[in-house]
Structure 1
């Protein structure tokens, strides 16, 4: 039997790349658009929950989300966060405990927020609208996608159709399944093809934002079949239900997202490619107004809405400390999020800000 030396060398090369990919640290970034810190740390707000103008469907709402104390309410709304992440990870931003996280961009809406999260720096001169313009700044996802370690191992999924521009898919070469796009996989699974079908057949509530169930399940199929080393999932419903003034659906969506995060965590800890190698970092692009009762500033954000720059950050998994919800009087900023990702991925990017104190 004649050995083909070139084929043998190529085979060893492919095997070495595969083994390196298995050993790489894995990172999942999750964002929940416009989720307030008030609900994360205090659960359902009684002054909003009891206002008919903000609640159309009361069926089971109080049974599902109301309790006498903040601790009980937040656990009902976010059971995975408060029964697992609070025990095994880090949660920053409980302002009732003097622990603060703020944006540094002055726009206080989505595109500038996502740019800050993923680049580590506000850019109010260039990113000052939600228009579909390609981001002039390189995100950490783009830098990872062109690194030797993570080349073509980066994927992104989002509910909002602006993410291909935020991540500058043309320059970054990152596949971005966002808005109402179908599966981008070269070999889509049977479930991904079914998602394509039912997404087309499902009525659209918002023109540029699909329901998170599609974003989540496309991302889960990618985890199972394409094995990205760096995955970004951007859920969007909470922001749009809040803009609609639907506090009932805002709460239900937040609760569903908690379960989606649990699904991701349980999968990566059952899969040999990810188990023991995966960190998950979670945040939001902006806060919302603190208005209650007849004051509806909770629906909005931006420079005119007081306190809408108040946000939060969570982390769990490999390399993450198990300190729960921080009760230290500390000030952190969203611009520290990307430097923290950099520490995990070891990309040697220079940032002006230091990483968050969440890593072992």
Structure 2
């Protein structure tokens, strides 16, 4: 009898513990906001301004004293906070940051090309297709996670993409997927646009084509995306930023740092908008990552298979269901192809396609 009572008690304890664990699990997010920072290095994210570049007049052509005063500090912790104050003030407190290789916490691309189209394709398909080997590649033949989610009744027609680079429309394959994708030169259309949307449409056409290759500055992309968020309440908003990569290729380190600083302000601004809207507040995750890394030293302006370190990236997440572990300092390995299933998992879904898909990132 005694043994029976002990056994019953043990079962009750285990069941209670199990129920408690289930009750403590955070339900999946209802919405996602995703930022891709094209070609922004983990070195600046985790260490701030690079002394080898910020003090080199070759890469700091504008007002170097102003740039140094704005972003330089004696320690990496001070520099990164000056560069990205919201990331290192709020996200580090409420979310997770993977990829500081100084602690052996590594994030890498899987594709062997280490540039933009293959990088984004890997991110959103969860799969490395060796045939996707050019930035001029046509419409992506592989199913992406946004396309899969758009096929779910609760999300259909509620996904929007705003990109500074026009190739994103091919990467997401808007012709097949039917996802709303806005790129360089395109106005948001509709009979009931808000005043903010009309102003954002106009503003983008007042910006210079700085790089002479038909890419929209992020200052034009972001207002279009935010005004759409406020007016249409998409369940998923993906904002693709391009300034960091473009300024790096141009060898303009001061402008590259500014682009990161302004992107951080966008993170802060969109997060404030989410928390002030009952549709999003407490129900929306924020994800931030690049498509590839880039070289170091004199090779910082470039990336690709021949440029060492340009396969090194990072992953940032904050919101419901995201552990508040801050900067992850334990050794580990995350791969970029894991992002697609992670995106689906955060929404309580399981991404399937006619190609292999990597497992999600473990918390």
How far is 1:348 from its partner?
2.3
Contact 2:29-2:346 at 8 Å conserved across structures? no
Aligned to 2:351: 349
Aligned to 1:102: 108
For the pair 1:306 / 2:312, whether they are aligned, the reply is no
TM-score by length of structure 1 reads: 0.89
CA deviations on 1:205-260 (whole Å, 9 max, x unpaired) are: 12231110111111111110000001111011000000000000000010000000
For the pair 1:75 / 2:75, whether they are aligned, the reply is no
Between 1:200-209 and 1:73-82, the stretch displaced more is 200-209
For the pair 1:269 / 2:271, whether they are aligned, the reply is no
Aligned to 2:122: 116
Aligned to 1:4: none
How far is 1:183 from its partner?
1.5
Aligned to 2:247: 241
Aligned to 1:220: 226
How far is 1:103 from its partner?
0.2
1:290-301 alignment runs, 5 A limit: 290-291=296-297, 296-301=298-303
CA deviations on 1:82-130 (whole Å, 9 max, x unpaired) are: 11111110000000111000000001000000001111111112x1000
Aligned to 2:5: none
Partner secondary structure for residue 311 of structure 1: coil
How far is 1:132 from its partner?
4.9
Unaligned runs of 5+ in 2: 1-27
Match of 2:68 among 53, 62, 70: 62
Distance 1:276 1:185 in 2: 30
Change in CA separation of 1:185 and 1:297 when aligned onto 2, cut-off 3 Å: farther
Match of 1:320 among 322, 328, 350: 322
Distance 1:49 1:186 in 2: 48
Instruction: Provide the alpha-carbon RMSD of the alignment.
Output: 1.4
Unaligned runs of 5+ in 1: 1-22
Aligned to 1:332: 334
Moved beyond 3 Å, runs of 4+: none
Distance 1:323 1:24 in 2: 18
Aligned to 2:205: 200
Partner secondary structure for residue 32 of structure 2: strand
Partner secondary structure for residue 300 of structure 2: helix
Contact 1:100-1:310 at 8 Å conserved across structures? yes
TM-score by length of structure 2 reads: 0.89
Larger radius of gyration: 2
For the pair 1:183 / 2:180, whether they are aligned, the reply is no
Aligned to 2:158: 153
Between 1:143-152 and 1:56-65, the stretch displaced more is 56-65
